[in-house]
């Protein structure tokens, strides 16, 4: 499991030195990188190891502000269509609608005057329930003993004697639950919570927070109502998930919701051509995947790739962005 590390002090100077190399500084004319985050943590949490804490997130944002052209998503989509993308173009997005986007990320974005887009799962707004993956984390965290036996719920028996073993249990349970049909997934999570006695703090945005993000200039995009794997639904249900999330978020902000992010976002696995058509039909101007790498000028606007460099330090994160942009 990867974790982020805080960087050493000379980093900005080094980055500027690399940026001053003419060829890299011109990198990415016509290309765009859309980085995506989910949850920002107050402090590092090994059980949620892929998410940066706010100090690392601040380093990322400072580097993006110093070394890249960070554009609002709508401006980048326009530049893509007009083939007028500035060099080193980057957009910042967040998926799912965690309240940490409001509580922790927004102040940092404002500090560096950076635009961003938050793709909100509308059914979790004002809902004190957490997303299923976070419920697994909290359930595993709350076990006081060294083992967790979930064999009678169709899962495994997990050793929890060390942090690494707990991370392993979270990973295995998450992988197992991910592709279960929603009712079976919910049954497994509820069984897990009753076995562990876990209870979670609300993690997702309230409608007041969604409105506050919108008023702060953060674009609100849709991410379905309940975060299903679209390919596991009937066409009718999948379209309803897209349309209803758009309508619900427009009712909260009073503004059009122009963009959609496919839950989980892997083409062919989590969504397919039917859902690409539906995103168009639902009235979105563009839709976003989780494919790695840059957006190029010939990009299908309903399958726009988004990812985030997985490097452990901010320095290598930025180098990889430059490399994606350079092609």
Residues interacting with Zn ion, by CB under 5 A?
A: 95-96, 263
3-state SS of 122-136 is: HHHCCCCCCCHHHHH
Nearer to Zn ion, 258 or 306 (CB): 306
Q: How far is the CB of 229 from Zn ion (least distance, A)?
A: 10
Q: How far is the CB of 260 from Zn ion (least distance, A)?
A: 11
Cβ atoms of 203 and 98 closer than 8 Å: yes
Q: How far is the CB of 198 from Zn ion (least distance, A)?
A: 21
Residue with tokens 């500090």: 111
Length of the chain as a residue count: 327
Alpha carbons 318 and 308: distance in angstroms, whole number: 10
Q: How far is the CB of 268 from Zn ion (least distance, A)?
A: 17
Nearest to 272 by CA among 236, 230, 323: 230
Nearer to Zn ion, 59 or 96 (CB): 96
Nearer to Zn ion, 53 or 95 (CB): 95
Q: How far is the CB of 36 from Zn ion (least distance, A)?
A: 9
DSSP 153: G
Nearer to Zn ion, 95 or 219 (CB): 95
Nearer to Zn ion, 24 or 303 (CB): 303
Give the CA angle between residues 55, 118, 192 to the nearest 5°.
Answer: 80
Nearer to Zn ion, 284 or 315 (CB): 284
Nearer to Zn ion, 148 or 222 (CB): 222
Nearer to Zn ion, 30 or 265 (CB): 265
DSSP 307: B
DSSP conformation letters of 52-113 = PBHHHHHHHHHHHHHHSEE--HHHHHHHHHHT-PPTTEEEEEEEETBHHIIIIIHHHHHHTT
Alpha carbons 106 and 116: distance in angstroms, whole number: 9
Instruction: Work out the widest C-alpha separation in the chain, in whole angstroms.
Output: 62
Q: How far is the CB of 82 from Zn ion (least distance, A)?
A: 30
DSSP conformation letters of 264-277 = S--BTTTB-HHHHH
Nearer to Zn ion, 263 or 309 (CB): 263
Q: How far is the CB of 177 from Zn ion (least distance, A)?
A: 14
Q: How far is the CB of 223 from Zn ion (least distance, A)?
A: 6
109-141 b/e (C-beta count within 10 Å ≥ 16 → b)? beeeebbbbbbbbbbbbeeeebbbbbbbbbbbb
Among all residues, whose Cβ is closest to Zn ion? 95
Q: How far is the CB of 101 from Zn ion (least distance, A)?
A: 12
Cβ atoms within 10 Å of 172's Cβ, excluding its own: 16
């Amino acid at each position: 499991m990867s974790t982020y590390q805080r960087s050493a002090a000379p980093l900005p100077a080094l980055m500027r030195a690399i940026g001053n190399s003419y060829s890299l500084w011109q990198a990415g004319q016509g290309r765009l990188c859309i980085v995506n985050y989910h949850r920002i943590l107050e402090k590092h949490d090994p059980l949620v190891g892929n998410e940066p804490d706010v100090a690392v997130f601040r380093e990322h944002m400072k580097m993006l502000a110093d070394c890249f052209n960070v554009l609002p998503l709508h401006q980048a989509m326009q530049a893509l269509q007009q083939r007028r993308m500035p060099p080193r173009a980057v957009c910042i997005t967040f998926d799912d609608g965690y309240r940490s986007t409001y509580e922790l990320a927004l102040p940092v974005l404002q500090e560096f005057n950076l635009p961003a887009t938050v793709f909100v799962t509308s059914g979790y707004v004002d809902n004190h329930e957490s997303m299923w993956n976070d419920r697994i984390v909290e359930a595993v965290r709350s076990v006081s003993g060294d083992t967790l036996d979930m064999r009678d719920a169709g899962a495994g028996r997990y050793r929890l004697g060390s942090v690494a073993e707990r991370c392993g249990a979270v990973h295995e349970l998450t992988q197992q639950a991910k592709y279960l049909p929603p009712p079976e997934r919910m049954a497994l999570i509820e069984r897990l919570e009753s076995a562990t006695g876990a209870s979670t703090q609300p993690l997702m945005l309230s409608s007041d927070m969604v409105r506050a993000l919108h008023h702060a200039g953060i674009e609100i995009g849709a991410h379905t109502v309940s975060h299903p794997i679209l390919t596991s639904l009937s066409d009718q249900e999948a379209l309803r998930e897209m349309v209803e999330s758009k309508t619900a978020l427009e009712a909260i902000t009073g503004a059009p919701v122009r963009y959609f992010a496919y839950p989980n976002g892997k083409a062919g696995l989590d969504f397919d051509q039917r859902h690409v058509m539906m995103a168009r039909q639902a009235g979105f101007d563009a839709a976003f995947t989780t494919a790695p790498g840059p957006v190029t000028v010939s990009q299908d606007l309903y399958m726009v790739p988004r990812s985030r460099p997985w490097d452990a330090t901010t320095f290598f994160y930025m180098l990889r962005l430059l490399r994606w942009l350079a092609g």
